[in-house]
Structure 1
């Protein structure tokens, strides 16, 4: 596809507003010449520009990535790692649309290009956005369920505590039980610090009186 529209050239030349997603040398199969021709490819969103030379100001062609799929091509030539951008069959004519056969210099570059091209279409982005919205909805629903369950459990705990509580045990109505061994206060009302020997002698006298 030849680039004739000025707006597409501006997109190709603008790296600030339209950043590059992938770029590099690829070999493009030329049907008319029956050979591969080396070209510089630049991927921006779903627009794949190609240049005859890397430093060319304007692209020599453009592939619009829409309604396509990327396939690996088996090749007996070890010097090339080809893949195909297949646009399927035309809904109007029922005939196969033009496909583009490209080849990378090594297996790593081929994998990077296939991954970048597969994620470039708007259909893929729409699928990703839809999946993210679905997951966000599930997370939001789970948080609401957890919040509701926690509030119900806390309410039940409060009711349970109220049911087992007794006014006798409440702080407002708690009565101090008499402790016969609590004699730490002297006649002046001051607290005494009694040793174990003092306690033994005091209560020992009372016990001895019982056996006299």
Structure 2
């Protein structure tokens, strides 16, 4: 991979936010003595300088395809190992356990592959959270029954709004159509012609009239005749 040294130097000294920086004792595979270096981690690039504030770094390590491992040579030491063919190994040493663990964690999380895994995991968690939120929202939805329309009395029939009747009780006015219908609710309604009604009630009236005449004649015949002088 071709690296533009001028751009790297500009990026190393730019105002780009730093993920971690500090003094580390560093050495390569050939030399056995450690050199104090000012290290700056920006993204997946680890720059190391001779002194803090230098404009140009002594070198840069691209943290891709490598592993961060502990070493047994020095106390509080770790190494960056590139497993590929021709890969190098860089050794680092800190002055306490907390600093060593913080640097190892920062370097292990700096690679692009790690960031891809983290983004995929966060996307999965987001999808699960959205699915749960949608399920909870669906469970809270209730079907609201439509409002009942106000009951309108039949045409030609008027109710007094001040006469409130308890629910379940029907108030029927005497002589009204509803009153006649409720007299014998068990019988089917049948329309009777006026001629039949006239004939039925007319015969009864004639019979009563004849009976009255007979009684009147009997009463007159039983009376004693007056004597004429």
TM-score, normalised to structure 1, is 0.64
Greater Rg by CA:
2
- Tell me the equivalent position of 1:141: 131
- Tell me the equivalent position of 2:80: 85
Q: Secondary structure at the match of 1:143?
A: helix
**Which of 65, 68, 71 lines up with 2:66 in the alignment?**
68
1:45-124 equivalences under 5 Å are 45-75=43-73, 77=74, 80-88=75-83, 90=84, 95=85, 97-124=87-114
Report if the CA contact (8 A) 1:87-1:97 is conserved. Answer: yes
Alpha carbons of structure 1 residues 4 and 128: separation in structure 2 relative to 1, 3 Å: closer
What is the CA–CA distance in structure 1 between the aligned matches of 2:58 and 2:46, rounded to whole Å? 11
TM-superposed CA distance for 1:4, in Å, is: 6.0
Alpha carbons of structure 1 residues 146 and 33: separation in structure 2 relative to 1, 3 Å: closer
CA deviation string 1:86-140 (max 9, x = no partner): 121x2xxxx3611111111111110110111111111111111111111111111
Structure 1 gap segments, 5+ residues each: 178-212
CA deviation string 1:12-56 (max 9, x = no partner): 0102xx211111111112333321111111111111000112232
TM-superposed CA distance for 1:175, in Å, is: 2.4
TM-superposed CA distance for 1:176, in Å, is: 4.6
What is the CA–CA distance in structure 2 between the aligned matches of 1:4 and 1:150, rounded to whole Å? 59
CA deviation string 1:119-167 (max 9, x = no partner): 111111111111111111111111111222222xx23x859xx9xxxx9
- Structure 1 consecutive aligned stretches of length 4 or more whose deviation exceeds 4 Å: none
Report if the CA contact (8 A) 2:28-2:89 is conserved. Answer: no
Q: How many correspondences in the alignment?
A: 153
- Tell me the equivalent position of 2:6: 6
Alpha carbons of structure 1 residues 37 and 176: separation in structure 2 relative to 1, 3 Å: same
RMSD: 2.7
Q: Secondary structure at the match of 1:66?
A: coil
**Which of 32, 36, 39 lines up with 2:30 in the alignment?**
32
Report if the CA contact (8 A) 1:30-1:37 is conserved. Answer: no
Structure 2 gap segments, 5+ residues each: 152-160, 168-229
